[in-house]
Structure formats: C-alpha cells, structure tokens
Chains A and B, each alone.
Chain A
C-alpha cells in the first residue's frame, strides 16, 4: 500500500510540475466501446470517463499530462495519462492531431487498489477554434490491463475504442 500511496503522490507532484509549464487546459468526456477482452471478442460497452489535462508545445509537437477517472469492467479507476501530440493537418478553422498516450494508475478498491496501465492512440479533430477555447473530438484505440485483478476476475485486459468530446481552454502564450 505504501508503494501505491507513494505512486499517487509522485504522480501528483509530476503533474503539478508539468502543470506549472502548461499552456492549455482541456476537459474531456469519453465513452469506451469495447472490442475485445480476455473472455470475449465482440462489441460491449465498457464505461465512460472524464479527464482533465494540461498541454504545452514541445518543439514541433506538444506534450500533455492529465488525470482521468473512468468506469471499466472491474469498477472504477484513476490514471495519469501522458501524451505526445503530433499535428498532422493544420488549417485556420481546424486541426487534425494524433495523440500517443501511455497511462498508469490504480483500480479503485478499498484497502488494496490495484495497479493498471494503458496505451492508446487517438486521432482527434480540434475545431471551432478561437483565441479562448476550442472543441475537440476524437476516436481512438486503447489497451488497458490490470495484472493483479486476474486473482479476482476472469477479465483483466480490455481493448476499447474511446470516443472523446472535449473543450480546450487556451492559455496565454509565453514569451
């Protein structure tokens, strides 16, 4: 448990540090449409999520870090999702980005939260662009695994299509 507490505290500090240099704040809602888990291969609904993230430009791309709370097969989980954002197409009114995003976190169980990790890729549109806020819409693919949950249930890995709708609040550009 100490390890997990330390993990959460470390991640909070990491996010806080990143946040200090963050330029954009984004709030996302997500729905997850399951494609596969380690007991079935078929469509299933696999929960929803809310996410708060910060993003800052980095060279020709951008880096992001966010906190996500989601419902999933084994209940609820919180995770820190990092992201590397590449802009594929940039127009006046819209962008098409691709986001590669690893995440680590905890499945929320009393007294014994379980480690979870994920990796995802999501193409996303940024549109209705203005100086203060943008809308974002994305559809990607994500693999999530809670290794220790295998002791309690048959399903501890899922492959989902996450659908994301969000609002990005633009910060002031730093000189």
Chain B
C-alpha cells in the first residue's frame, strides 16, 4: 500500500519535474536594458503596443510599426527606434505579442494600425522572427502597408509580386541567422538590389525590388538592446554604431521612396 502510494507520488512528481524545465527553457525572454529617459521622447504603452512620439510628430509621414525578435522583450527596441521619433518626427509603434513570440500574432501589426487614425501610411518591419512575421502580415494584408524592412530575417511567403519597397538588412557577424534559409528564401522577395552604403539606394525609389544591405561588424542581437544572445557572433562594432547604421539606411530608404 505504501509502495503503491509512493509510486503514484513519484509519477506525479516526475510529471512536474519534466514540465517545468521544458517551459522554462523554451519561453525565457531576453530582458531589455532599463527604460530610456530620452528628453523629448514620449513613451506610451498599452496591452498591444509601445508608442514612441514627440511633440513634433508629423502624422503626414509614414509611421513605423515593428515586430520584435522571438523571445525578446519589446522594450529592447526603444533605443534602436527612438531616432525615428526624435529626428524623423515619425510615429513608431512596437508591437507587444503573445509570449514575446511575434509568430503567434501574425496580424498584430496590421490590426493595431487600424486604430491609429491620425497616421494613414505605415511601414512595417521586424527583427528575426519578427521580420518573418512582418512578411506574413504583408502577404496577408498587402494594402495595409507602404513599405517593409526586415532585420536579420527572411520571407517564407511569396512576396515576389509585391509592389511596396522592401529592404533586408543583415549583419556580418550574425551567427544566429540561418544563411542557407536566408539565401533560399530570398527567392520569395522581389528582384535584389545589393548596396554597400545608404547612398547607393536610387533616388527614384525602389518599388518592385528588394534592397539588400549588410552591416559590417554587426551581429544579431545588436539590432536591439538586450545584451548578448546565446549562439550569436562577436560584433566588432558597438550596438550604438549598429543601430545608427540601421537608422541611416532605413532613413535613406524611406526618403527615396517618399514614405
């Protein structure tokens, strides 16, 4: 009787002991740096998104809606995108997604911009898994967006016939992006235009093509601000430099395409 009860007890306990590590190791997110307190930057938040604005936000400019990387806290992208609000006067929305996995909410970006009636043009982008998700959203809701940017990501949907401008930004020391998948899935994007510097983006716009730009010395995690990511390469530039380079090429991309 005692042995039977003990065996039953151990079965129950083993269930718990197996369950806990599985959930723990597959669902831990990367914490962001502490919330920035940049003068002039207004950070507001609700259950669906974090918004970055300033007193000078120009709603005639295309807003940016961004999907975070998988298992990365969305606040980790505030620093990387605050210059779009502070310098470019654009509204920036960083999506908050279930379990910090954008792939669980593939229409989050298109749904949250429906509530933002002040801005009627939106560029969607994402990092890593968030970039993949952004491509899915563009595929499913092609009329919702006027531009697409993906950071260390690729499209698993066929966007070859998409007419919106698209830019794909990678980093040379990124050891997490599966380069074979990246190369194979580039066929899902419009014709490539590889550039070495932002100035190479044609002034007349890039509709119907995909701009490819690689940041020398950057890595996977430094597109956001959440420290080192397990398995990533060693960057030879700082996260500030990588984020500045990303800002510069995206700014040029949006200017050339009149977004």
Q: Do A and B come from one complex?
A: yes
Could you show 29 A-B contacts with beta carbons less than 8 Å apart? A8-B20, A12-B16, A15-B16, A34-B47, A37-B47, A39-B44, A39-B45, A40-B46, A44-B48, A47-B99, A52-B16, A54-B12, A67-B20, A74-B73, A76-B27, A76-B99, A76-B100, A108-B28, A109-B29, A110-B29, A110-B230, A112-B31, A151-B34, A152-B32, A153-B45, A153-B50, A154-B35, A154-B43, A155-B45
Binds B, one of A17-25, A56-64, A84-92: A17-25
B116 within 8 A of A: no
Q: Is the interface of A mostly helix, strand, loop or mixed?
A: mixed
A39 touches B46 (CB 8 A): yes
B31 touches A109 (CB 8 A): yes
Of B5, B20, B230, which contacts A12 at CB under 8 A? B20
List B residues at the A interface (Cβ < 8 Å): 5, 9, 12-13, 15-17, 19-20, 23-24, 27-32, 34-35, 43-48, 50, 71, 73, 75, 96, 98-100, 230
Task: Determine how close the nearest CB of chain B comes to the CB of A78; give it in whole angstroms.
Answer: 6
Of B29, B45, B48, which contacts A154 at CB under 8 A? B45
A46 within 8 A of B: yes
Which residues of chain A are within 8 angstroms of B50 by Cβ–Cβ distance? 153-154
One digit per residue, 1 when the CB lies within 8 angstroms of any chain B CB and 0 when it does not, for chain A 96-133 equals 00000000000011111100000000000000000000
B43 touches A52 (CB 8 A): no
State the CA gap A168–B3 with chains docked (Å): 24
Interface residues on A, range: 35 or more
A113 touches B35 (CB 8 A): no
List A residues at the B interface (Cβ < 8 Å): 8, 12, 15-16, 19-20, 22, 25, 34, 37, 39-40, 44-47, 52, 54, 67, 69, 71, 73-76, 78, 108-113, 151-155
A20 touches B9 (CB 8 A): yes
- Select from chain B the residue with minimum beta-carbon distance to A45: B47
Which residues of chain A are within 8 angstroms of B13 by Cβ–Cβ distance? 16, 19
A44 touches B16 (CB 8 A): no
Which residues of chain A are within 8 angstroms of B35 by Cβ–Cβ distance? 151-154
Task: Determine how close the nearest CB of chain B comes to the CB of A18; give it in whole angstroms.
Answer: 10
B47 touches A25 (CB 8 A): no
State the CA gap A82–B31 with chains docked (Å): 28
Which residues of chain A are within 8 angstroms of B5 by Cβ–Cβ distance? 20
Which residues of chain B are within 8 angstroms of A154 by Cβ–Cβ distance? 35, 43-45, 50
A108 touches B98 (CB 8 A): no
Which residues of chain B are within 8 angstroms of A153 by Cβ–Cβ distance? 32, 35, 45, 50, 73, 75
B47 touches A113 (CB 8 A): no
- Select from chain A the residue with minimum beta-carbon distance to B17: A12
